[in-house]
Structures are given as structure tokens and as C-alpha cells.
Structure 1
């Protein structure tokens, strides 16, 4: 059975929220003073980058499917940055600055996550 456009949007929003939760969980020990081995640090950064690739691609799809209307109520969120970060990871993976990745995880990811949750709540309220 083929998904309708609203169902596909809701599905992508759930997947993005789950990926953002994973990024937050994996980045927290790296940003704190907790001792993490070099190998675990690299593994966590790999997970973060893979999730950010998926998040950026999904945000691009969501923006296209909604013709830009899904994210417009959240002008304080850097949606273009979220989409662009995916491109940076894809094309400059071996040259990524770990500190920049962690800064994005600390400062930008929580805002994107909160906006995605609010979009989900707003969409859910429309169907009730």
C-alpha cells in the first residue's frame, strides 16, 4: 500500500526525531568531561555523522514535499544549515573538524529537535 503525502511526512518526521535523539545521546559524553577512549570517540562521531546525513536528507525532502511551509513557522532554526551540514559531511568527511561537529550538536541540534517535536504536535492536533 502506497503512503499518502501526509503519512510520508509524518513518517519522516518520526524518523528525524529518532535520529536527532540518537545524535544528542551520542554527543553528550563527547561534550562533557567524561573520559571516552579515542576509539569510542571516533565511533560516536561516526554515528553522529551518519545520523546527520540522514537528518539533512530528510529535512530536504520534507521541505520539498511541503513546498517550504513545514519549517516556515520556525525562522529561528537554521534549516538551511541543517541541510547544508549533510552536504559537508558527505563531501568532506575525512576533513571534518570534530570540535565544529560537537558545537553543532550542542547549539543547533537541540533547536532542530524541539522544532521537529513541535511540528509533530501541531500536525497531530490537526488530525484530532
Structure 2
């Protein structure tokens, strides 16, 4: 792939690798979460929800920065991901404070992380060539 990202490419790859690591960590943390109640009915669950929110927020922020640094060109290469939602969940968590919807976080983790991991790996591969 001929790069339009030249000077930012190494930084973008580094951030994408951090996103990949974060998604893998989330998948590991969440393997024993079977319903939203697993977040809400114990102190451990609430701590898990808080930590999960932190990483989901960081992933959304990372993709916001990547999109900005690539002038909105990179994410278009993987259109099956709802990028507006990926970036928007960061704002929801960051500005929701104590109004985090555990159902949204649960759904995000259980349904959206694997496709996002695939997209992240796709970008790493594309930019590494």
C-alpha cells in the first residue's frame, strides 16, 4: 500500500498495537461475564465494569486520534465497522460520569470487540507493508 500517512505511520502502528493489546485484555477479562448482572451484582463486577469502561474509552480515543491523523482516510478502508459509534462510545463514557449504561458496555464487549480486533489487525498489516 502506498502510504499517505508517511510521517505518522510508525506512531499510528504503535497506537494500533496498543488497541490490539487492549482488546485482547478485555476479551480475557470478560470471558466469565455472561450477563450484565455479572457487572452489577458484586463489588468485583463493578470494578470489572469500571476497568472495562476505561479500556473501551481508551480504544475510542485512540481511533478518534487515528482518524484525525489520517485525515479520515484510514478507517474508510474497513467500512463494516461503525466508526462513528466506536469513537462516540468514548465520549459517552468520558462525559457520562456515573450514568454509564452497563448494558451498552456488555453489548460492546460481547458483540463488537472481535470485529474491531479484526479491523485493528487489518490496519496494522496494511500500514506495516
Question: Could you state the TM-score of these two structures normalised by the residue count of structure 1?
Answer: 0.85
The aligned residue for residue 47 of structure 1 is 51
Q: Distance in 1 between matches of 2:101 and 2:68?
A: 29
The aligned residue for residue 69 of structure 2 is 65
Q: Distance in 2 between matches of 1:74 and 1:6?
A: 17
Matched, 1:79 2:83: yes
Q: After TM superposition, what 4+ stretches of structure 1 lie above 4 angstroms from structure 2?
A: none
Find 2:32's aligned residue among 29, 34, 39.
Answer: 29
Matched, 1:8 2:20: no
1:66: how far off? Answer: 0.8
How many matched pairs? 120
Q: Distance in 1 between matches of 2:24 and 2:73?
A: 24
Does the CA-based 8 Å contact 1:26-1:47 persist in structure 2? no
1:61: how far off? Answer: 0.6
1:21: how far off? Answer: 1.3
Q: Of the two structures, which has the highest relative contact order with CA contacts closer than 8 Å and spacing of 6 or more? A: 2
Q: Which runs of 5+ in 2 are unaligned?
A: 1-6
Give CA deviations for 1:78-117 in whole Å, capped at 9, x if unaligned.
1110110000001113112212210111111211111001
Q: Which runs of 5+ in 1 are unaligned?
A: none
Question: Could you state the TM-score of these two structures normalised by the residue count of structure 2?
Answer: 0.84
The aligned residue for residue 3 of structure 2 is none
After superposition, the CA RMSD in angstroms is: 1.7
Q: Distance in 1 between matches of 2:106 and 2:100?
A: 11
